[in-house]
Amino acid sequence: MPPTLPLAGLKIVITRPREQTAQLVQRIEQAGGKALLFPLLEIAPAADPQKLRAIVSRLSEFDLAIFISPNAVRYGMEAIRAEGSLPTQLKIATIGQSSAQALRDLEIAKIIAPQDHFDSENLLALPELQSVAGWRVVIFRGNGGRELLGETLQSRGAAVEYAECYQRSKPPLDSAALIEQTPHAIIVTSSEALGHLWNLFDEKGKSWLTGIPLFVPHKRIAEAAHHLGVRNVIETKEGDDGLLTSLVAWAQNRKSL
């Protein structure tokens, strides 16, 4: 591997669901690193597709549809397009730029989304979501998740329904095998995944984990990692660009020490 590549010789663990790793793996390897896949969550279609279809069949009754994640875009739009298309009057919103890009890839141009910090709080702070009294809102999401978005919209006078269009599960994983691969850094992109990672290890493994640089794309995940005792938490910007920028900066700093 040419020594000039910024991630040369570094092993980076990617813990995203397997189907969401291809582009990031490619970019890490193009930068000279070795990507180690350790998917902490598995994504599958909705457990109750009939209930999802029932909501989608009433989509014209809603004023606003919110897609929580790229998975919500993928599985939600598959269900919608199986029934027809998006109603023309329906406003579309999402939390993050990865989800917004997934919507744009499906030729959905008008999207309500934060421009700087990407979470429910910042979506709720947008002017477009302040006066929603009387609106009917559908939130496309996985099984469970934070209730802040729906509860806040309800407090503002909206009627909210949830369309669970995919499900997350925690696969069995071999934590000892991960340690044996001697990674230099780990990428964790959700609080749920971080919790699963932590619970995989015994006390000795937890001690090892707290010493590994952990790259996370959100303040909430960073705070959770600090609370667990992880000593080197690097908060990145959202998406692959943010992760790669932080990985390269960390690698360059590492060489200078």
Q: Are 17 and 95 part of one and the same domain?
A: no
- The answer to whether residues 103 and 139 belong to one domain is yes
| pLDDT for residue 254 | 85
Among residues 114, 141, 169, which one ends one of the domains? 169
Q: What is the pTM of this model?
A: 0.82
Residues 26 and 131 placed together within one structural domain of the fold: no
Query: What is the model's pLDDT at position 230?
Result: 96
The answer to the question of residue 59 being in a domain is: yes
Asked whether residue 122 is domain-assigned, the answer is: yes
- pLDDT for 1: 45
89 shares its domain with 151: yes
Q: What is the CATH number of the domain that holds 48?
A: 3.40.50.10090
5 found inside a domain: no
The three-state DSSP-derived secondary structure of the chain is CCCCCCCCCCEEEECCCHHHCHHHHHHHHHCCCEEEECCCCEEEECCCHHHHHHHHCCHHHCCEEEECCHHHHHHHHHHHHHHCCCCCCCEEEECCHHHHHHHHHCCCCCCECCCCCCCHHHHHCCHHHCCCCCCEEEEEEECCCCCHHHHHHHHCCCEEEEEEEEEEECCCCCHHHHHHCCCCEEECCCHHHHHHHHHCCCHHHHHHHCCCCEEECCHHHHHHHHHHCCCCEEECCCHHHHHHHHHHHHHHHHHHC
Domain membership of residue 19 (yes or no) is yes
Kindly state whether residues 64 and 181 are assigned to the same domain.
no
Averaged in consecutive runs of 10 residues, what is the pLDDT profile of the chain (257 residues)? 79 93 94 96 92 96 96 96 93 91 92 85 94 97 87 97 94 94 96 94 96 94 96 92 94 82
68, 177: one domain: no
* Total tally of structural domains belonging to the chain: 2
Whether 67 and 150 share a structural domain: yes
Range of the domain at 198: 11-41+173-256
Residues 126 and 202 in one domain: no
Same-domain check for residues 153 and 197:
no
Domain boundary among 119, 141, 169: 169
Instruction: Supply the pLDDT for residue 3.
Output: 57
Q: Is residue 205 part of a domain?
A: yes
pLDDT value at position 202? Answer: 95
Of 136, 154, 169, which marks where a domain is finished? 169
Please indicate, yes or no, if residue 64 is contained in any of the structural domains: yes
Quick one: 71 and 153 in the same domain?
yes
- The answer on 229 and 117 residing in a single domain is no
